[in-house]
A and B are shown apart, each in its own frame.
Chain A
Amino acid sequence: MSVLLLAEVNQGRLATDAVAKTLSALSPLGEVHVLVASGDSEAAAQEASRLQGVSRVLMAQDVSLAHGLAEPLAALIVSLAPAYSHIAAPATAFSKNILPRVASLLDVMVLSDVTHVHDAETFDRPVYAGNAIQTVVSADPIKIFTVRTSSFSAVGEGGSAPIERTDAVADPELSFWVEDVSVVSERPDLTSARVVVSGGRGVGSKEKFDMIIDLADRMGAAVGASRAAVDLGYAPNDWQVGQTGKVVAPELYLAVGISGAIQHLAGMKDSKVIVAINKDEDAPVFRVADYALVGDLFSIVPELTKKLEKQFS
């Protein structure tokens, strides 16, 4: 049995942390081949070949694969599928766009956000915003799923898997890339950061959200946000943490001016230590917080930033 792992490549770079975590979920299932498919795959393929537990890297490079469009990528994966018992990927917007399409083309189901692999047919996954965990047995001839990376630790480097070229298949030309709007920052990535500082509606405005960013920068943390903060334009969409945003499990999560709706908790309740700062002592977020600080964030956050400045200097 061999497993195909679809890796994501951004601007020529492998999404290494996500691939490394997915590898630890997949290695027990058999030999893992990593598919690196993009417009510029050489460096990413090299990077993938060094990860432990990779037995082969399949490298595809073509303009049609440059922007993560689902149709050409799904066509490529379908062409490779007969050699595999499982096809999986980290549960990101990139793979959730592609793998269900692959599954339907192969007439099989897809499982999203797998948190535990019991055996070749049996998987755990959260449902109802993480309020229940289902154990599911698949009867499909080929299992297709995405892996919740926050549930797995990353494999290390030190491998040297062979890299094989594979050809892109003809682009069905159903959709066309127009533009990407992404802000590149020096901050750690939300899904792999050791510390995450998130702000909610309580922060009050986009300008005041700078307070959250300052605190995060002081702590070397990634910045997150509640849906309300994103809807109100305080923070960009890719900072949303929750059921329908990103799922994070850092060592330390600070929730500031966030009430703690189940949809938000779904994205952060597996964090190791949770701190909540809220002026409402009955806020539901306090039910999951290890440390609760009741009070006005507008005085607490600047004080915390200042005092941490001393700690870190």
Chain B
Amino acid sequence: MKVIVPVKRVVDYNVKVRVRADGSGVELTNVKMSMNPFDEIAVEEAVRLKEKGIVSEIVAVSIGVKQAQDVLRTALAMGADRAILVDATSDVNQDIEPLAVAKILARLVEQEQPDLVIAGKQAIDNDLNATGQMLAGLLGWGQATFASEIKIADGSAIVTREVDGGLQTVRVSLPAVITADLRLNEPRYVSLPNIMKAKKKPLEERTVAELDIDTTPRLKVVRTIEPPQRSAGVRVSSVDELIEKLKNEAGVI
């Protein structure tokens, strides 16, 4: 079976982002960019399913600026077979909204006819947690979000989901959309030979115009500010002092 894995290029999770003083957004120039961590988990899961002989082909897709080639190369080095870059903007500051991303992915699903899409649960830049669910809605497919375990059997996926009260297991008929949570697996490191091999794997470029999708943003970001900063408090030297302060100064116990 064939799997599509959407991978987003985002600010690396180790970077502490800076908000521009004029409120126009966060500073993205000269900032380290990487594959969204949840998407690495999604790629890893697809590769493991391929290693088990369940999946035959993995197509990684990224939507955004041309530089997203980098994250697609990483996906190929991890074990994806092909990559598609959808050129949607030339402005690194423009985030393509999940609704538009989902529409583009739905068009690619029509063309590629995969049995499964494994996306990340959440992009760590916009923190929206929406694209997988939106794609499932547009396609009329079932969905299993926040997956911590996936088993494929008899035309279905049995998925354990991380929910607020613990874990929930659902069975979803294929084709379906699954989104990956943190505990699904631990992504492999890419080895140098695999990076070299990835350079020879096919990476196709498409445009939004050719896919005929309207990506006009629905949301306008009018201002981006820093949240109120907390300042460091005082050092206490003993448990007794801590209890005393919590009681008499903070009044919380």
A interface vs B, CB < 8 Å? 10, 67-71, 74, 92-94, 96-105, 107-113, 122, 126-140, 172-183, 195, 219, 227, 230-231, 236-238, 243-244, 246, 251-252, 262-263, 269, 272-275, 286-294, 300, 303-304, 307-308, 311
Report how far A63 CA is from B88 CA in the complex, Å.
Answer: 43
Inter-chain contacts of B192 with A (CB < 8 A):
none
Select A96's contact among B129, B140, B172, beta carbons within 8 Å. B129
Verify if B173 is at the interface (C-beta below 8 Å from A).
yes
B98 and A110 contacting across the interface, CB-CB below 8 Å: yes
B168 and A275 contacting across the interface, CB-CB below 8 Å: no
Rounded to whole Å, the gap between the CB of B180 and the closest CB of chain A is: 11
Report how far A172 CA is from B245 CA in the complex, Å.
Answer: 57
A109 and B218 contacting across the interface, CB-CB below 8 Å: yes
Additional A-B contacts beyond A67-B170, A100-B134, A174-B141 (6; CB < 8 A) = A70-B145, A71-B143, A102-B137, A104-B99, A133-B224, A180-B167
Select A273's contact among B162, B227, B240, B246, beta carbons within 8 Å. B246
Inter-chain contacts of A294 with B (CB < 8 A):
235
A275 and B246 contacting across the interface, CB-CB below 8 Å: yes
Inter-chain contacts of A262 with B (CB < 8 A):
16
Inter-chain contacts of B250 with A (CB < 8 A):
252, 273, 290-291
Q: List 8 A-B contacts (CB under 8 A).
A: A71-B143, A96-B130, A108-B218, A109-B97, A134-B224, A138-B218, A138-B220, A292-B234
B127 and A135 contacting across the interface, CB-CB below 8 Å: no
B interface vs A, CB < 8 Å? 11, 13, 16-17, 19, 26, 97-99, 102, 121-122, 124-138, 140-146, 148, 158, 161-173, 176, 181-183, 218-227, 230, 232-236, 238-240, 242-243, 245-247, 250, 252-253
Report how far A32 CA is from B10 CA in the complex, Å.
Answer: 37
A292 and B236 contacting across the interface, CB-CB below 8 Å: yes
Select B165's contact among A74, A109, A230, A238, beta carbons within 8 Å. A238
